[in-house]
Structure 1
Amino acid sequence: MSQPFDINNINYSQTGNGPAMIWSHGLLACMQSEDALGIFAWHRFPKSMSLLRFDAKGHGLTTASPSKLDYLWPNLAEELHHLQQHCFNEDKVVLGGQSMGAASSLYAALAYPESIKGLVIMNPPVAWQLRASKQDYYRKVAKAAKLLGGKGLAKINAKHIDRMLPSWLLQAHMHSVLGMLDGLKNMKRQTLEQLFLAASENDLPDREKLNSINVPCLILAWDDDEAHPLSVAKTLAKALPQAKLHVANNMADLDEWPHLISSFCQTVHNFE
């Protein structure tokens, strides 16, 4: 990492009291945009557990870095671990995250297995051979981001929101889906350029390494999403020794996700 860890540079929120889950959002998102989208329902997370959410480096109200190195997933995992140590000392936690947050959680579990009690992997990002085919795309987006900035990218994404979410989710949450772009609008040109340059180099760990993450893992995925292919979720479910995969095919399935996450965390923390 090019920047040393400083808790004062991180915007985070901690609720509840008890065994903990740390949640990491996806690329270009933040706590505000998650809440605007409305599908996470963090207000329903048990108050008997501690929930720590935060804006990742360069996102939301957390300080940005001028270096793409700080946006590589293993380095985001390092920052995640430092945050865990600051807030929970030596306690084991459940790590959870969506897309980029899922990736950094997996890397943290590999680097610090003694600190992890379980994993919640939501919509894992495009990976391996599929990701290699998108390297040029991410570099092109980096150039566009340098020219357009957050507001410009948000306008473009708003016109193509149907490429970012399943059609059944768009139909059910049309009033709020544009809220997922709230975190993008205020992002600076340089930050976005470095984020997408890092995206061109990022990838999930080798499947052989994933075999060593021997903790309970809940994988949540949906289909019809190019950035989060169901095939990647299925591969993770096979590679992670204690993984269970739940696929949402409609809003009724998706509405179960907050309950599945809460129940998983409670079960993992109660198991000795």
Structure 2
Amino acid sequence: MSLFSLFGALEIGLIFSLVALGVFISFRLLRFPDLTVDGSFPLGGAVAAVLISHGLDPFSATAIATVAGACAGLVTGWLNVRLKIMDLLASILVMIALYSINLRIMGKPNVPLITEATVFTVLQPDWIGDYIARPVILAVVVLLAKLLLDWFFTTQTGLAIRSTGSNPRMARSQGVATGTMILCGMALSNALVALGGALFAQTQGGADISMGIGTIVIGLAAVIVGESILPSRRLVLVTLAVIVGAIVYRFFIALALNSDFIGLQAQDLNLVTALLVAVALVIPQFKRRWFGRKAS
């Protein structure tokens, strides 16, 4: 792999670590199988790209895109909590609806940002190449997101969200409004995903209607790989593991696709993802069997 490929993999891995943090909140903390992310990721990219192309500064556009993602998560939570639609079905309905909504927002299948100012062009120093500056800026964003999440989930609201996912009946008996906590958790989850989509559109030079395909698989892969690499029950370490998992996942993908020996091509991306997730799921079983035999 070339140096540019390594920095490119790191860049994409950092972006998808935001997605992985969002997926971690919904799947692990809330126990909510949320497929909305396949729609909220391109939603963030679409909103940011359209606003930037119409002259809004990239920071405000990214913030609005993040709020748009939170609204998508709220709708999914509302369908489940208020209308009593099954969680998985509610997320599928919103994901399908967001495809049409994203097309409406963009007005066409893609919105280019080649000549527009982005968060990265504004913050990039003149003496650093863009292939280095972008990962550095993204690393700062991801670190801030991680620290804020670590802090938030130690607050009363954050602990209520965690208790809602762990044992909703016990949480309700302690006076926790579990419905409200699901709405808050889903909004936070999809806000992070949309933030990743907005930043992805700005690094790739535009938003595309198909950019969200397979986002949920990538997010789950990052969470599973991260938990296999750094198994822990402490939230501070778990969020770190999710970030590491996203980066390692992208490095494996880049290595597989850039290796002449393996001979994989871009259309093999989903196959590589499936194999990587399968390996990550099997590793803990081998660990238990191996250490169990050694203990006996």
TM-score, normalised to structure 1, is 0.26
Larger Rg belongs to: 2
The structure with higher relative contact order (CA 8 Å, sep 6+) is 2
Instruction: Give the TM-score normalised by the residue count of structure 2.
Output: 0.25
